[in-house]
Amino acid sequence: MWLVIWCLFAVFIFVFVGWTAVILFQQKKTWANFAKRHKLEYEAGTIMGSPVVSGMLNERRFSLYTGAQQTDDIRGQRFVTIIEFQMGQGMPTGAAIATMEYLGFVDGLVFDESYDPGIPEWKSSYVVRTRDSKNLQAYLTDERLKLLQGLFSMKGASVLLFFDELEAVLRIETSDPLREGAHLDKIIKRLSDAADKLVPSAVEKERFKTLIEEEKARHKAVEKVAQVEDEEVEDDDADDVDLGVDLEALTGDDDDEHEIIIIKKKKSKKKAPAKKASSNKKKSSD
């Protein structure tokens, strides 16, 4: 009896490994042909490892690879095919728009405003979080909303559009290994066309230009505060540290006279411990 069970188990393992190897071989061949036709970089990986395709596709940074995900019961993992298009800067605010599979990721972001586009086709399970609902509404035209709704409806796919003023990424995850050439071409063309329409036009970028400059100023201010926080302290005298940060650039205030952030540090003879980036951000917002 036990011998029969072990034989059946061995046959199952043999068939599973063999079928996996066949799918992997077909995937490698299809992806290599795709990379060659589009002059992209191709990495075959290990014998039983998935390939990676990357490079510039239609003037956008493109990646095609396989990733591992935990299953819902967190006891195992499954492999998914991941397609990414990087779309550069020009968005009017920071936001994450995604299917429900990305809820855990989105909850970990600093975007604290939810947004409802208010169109009949938009499902309540879709996730939309942003830093500024008003600016996001200006970006999400009816055409873009219908485009995103179409992507979110793709069978067996998880979709994420994640961006701020400085960068943007369109990411798709699917359990399909995309081992058939025609199907791979069709999927990637659809996503490439979608990326073209999701990128703001030249007119929109000009309108959003002020917002982009404000975001760059925020980044510089945080870096400057972090630099001051990391300096060693030598005596007990309290000195004013003028960071020279323009609050108008940070807050968008239109006052004629700009305020300057002043941080007072009590100096100590002991070496000050390094602080986390989160505390620096809090000081800059204060």
pTM higher than 0.85: no
Q: Torsion over CA of 158, 164, 165 and 168, rounded to 10 degrees?
A: -30
Helix (H, G, I), strand (E, B) or coil at 208: helix
- pLDDT score for 277: 42
Backbone angles phi, psi at 165, to 5 degrees: -70, -15
Please give the Cα distance from 284 to 37 (Å, whole number). Answer: 49
DSSP code string of 257-278 = SPPEEEEEEE--SSPPPP--HH
- pLDDT score for 73: 58
Please give the Cα distance from 95 to 167 (Å, whole number). Answer: 11
DSSP state of 101: G
- pLDDT score for 251: 45
- pLDDT score for 17: 62
CB atoms within 10 A of CB 246: 16
Taking the chain (286 residues) in runs of 10, the rounded mean pLDDT of each run is 71 64 85 95 86 94 87 68 93 93 91 90 92 90 94 93 93 93 95 94 82 73 79 55 47 45 42 42 42
- pLDDT score for 202: 86
Q: What single letter denotes the amino acid at residue 11?
A: V
Helix (H, G, I), strand (E, B) or coil at 64: strand
Please give the Cα distance from 203 to 209 (Å, whole number). Answer: 10
Where exactly are the structural domains of the chain?
A: 20-205, 206-285
Residue 134 structure tokens: 């008003």
- pLDDT score for 262: 39
Please give the Cα distance from 229 to 67 (Å, whole number). Answer: 38
